[in-house]
Amino acid sequence: MTGTQPNNDAIVRFENVQKSYDGEILVVKNLNLDVARGEFLTMLGPSGSGKTTCLMMVAGFETATHGEIVLNGRPINNVPPHKRGIGMVFQNYALFPHMSVGENLAFPLQVRGMSKADTEQKVKRALEMVQLGDFVGRRPTQLSGGQQQRVALARALVFEPELVLMDEPLGALDKQLREHMQYEIKHLHENLGISVIYVTHDQSEALTMSNRVAVFNDGIIQQLAPPDDLYERPENSFVAQFIGENNTLRGKVESVDGNQANVVLETGQKVAALAVNCGGVGETTQLSIRPERVVIGDDADQNTLSGTVVELIYLGDHIRCRMEVAGNEEFVVKVPNNHAHTVLNVGQETKIGWFTEDCRALDG
């Protein structure tokens, strides 16, 4: 899958875009993608999947080898970066160390020839937006990492761009601050109505913040969908494995009945799953089941198998139970920590199962 239906209200459009650095290997392969006006679209994928290259082509720091990138209805392949009117936030903040916070924010406005009075007013407003109104006179070196990132964000927003590009902007922050900043950016996006293209390899960040997520691998969008769709309804094995924790069992398709695939596992047991992307009878398939959808103990009455407890990890709200199931020693079940939960011990054999609609038969 390479994109979505054309959208007349797209702020950014990739039309058959390819990118190669050496003339042979394509880092981005024939990308067709519309980013809707006001949308928060995240490009998610492992290192080298092409997501940052796409962002840099929109920014103007890289040029497409083939195809066209359109911004607000006009092709921008030959428009220099500073004339594209796009806000940018990088992981390393890219603040000028010799300038105060206020001067850092004033810089993009001065470049655009704005008057001193208007500049001061916009700088003040942008800093208040990120709750740093009192920091106008400080130097970047006098700020914490989180404060520097807020300044970088304010600088990207100060000239009121319609589009802001963010490249792993929270990568250098600690976990707690990163989570806090995710909500800050999400709320700013909602309040300002700007369009955001966000690049990350952190799936929980993508799920938390986005209207839609484009999952990249090997220069191709594997799936483009809202966060809940990606998690609940992955279209192939790569997306199932990359988004959230996932159990896989390998087998062969024995029969397909409507949207149900009957599968014989490598260990000989038979189970049923949704036939999503599994090919025909006799084809190898990979079953995908989320750990929280596996039922344990006597409540398991569909697709029942036997499992042996290998490891138990207490995680507060749930117990992470690693089991050996049908030859897979990394099969994980999330057991809710409530009064009704099944008491388990390492080495114990127990029945497990899942509802057919919670298991997806995908490409082998």
Which amino acid makes up residue 331?
F
**Coil vs helix vs strand at 189:** helix
Q: What is the pLDDT of residues 280-326, one digit of tens each?
A: 899 999 999 999 999 998 777 789 999 999 999 999 999 999 999 99
pLDDT above 60 for 3: no
> What is the pLDDT confidence band of residue 198, given thresholds at 50, 70 and 90?
very high
Host H or E run for residue 120: helix 116-129
Q: At residue 81, what is the residue type?
A: P
Report the percentage of the chain scoring pLDDT > 90: 69
Instruction: Name beta bridge partners: 332.
Output: 322
3-state secondary structure of 221: strand
Percent of the chain topping pLDDT 70: 98
SS3 60: coil
Categorize the per-residue pLDDT at 1 as very low, low, confident or very high, splitting at 50, 70 and 90. very low
Q: Cα–Cα distance between 17 and 154 in angstroms, integer?
A: 31
Length of the chain: 364
Range scoring the smallest mean pLDDT among 40-54, 204-218, 337-351: 337-351
| Per-residue confidence (pLDDT) for residue 175, from 0 to 100 | 86
Amino acid at 292: E
The pLDDT of 130-149, averaged and rounded, is: 89
For residue 6, what pLDDT is reported? 44
Is the predicted pLDDT of residue 7 greater than 60, yes or no? no
How far apart CA 363 and CA 269 sit, in angstroms, is 19
- pLDDT attached to residue 82: 85
For residue 153, give the H/E element and its range: helix 145-157
pTM of the model as a whole: 0.88
Residues 6+ apart with CB under 8 A from 41: 35, 195, 196, 197, 198, 210, 211, 212, 213, 214
Could you give the CA distance from residue 157 to residue 89 in angstroms, rounded to a whole number? 10
CA 182 → CA 150, 190, 196, distances in Å? 11, 12, 13
For the chain, domains (ranges, CATH) are 10-237 (3.40.50.300), 247-363 (2.40.50.140)
Rounded Cα distance between 54 and 219, Å, is 9
The SS3 of residue 183 is helix
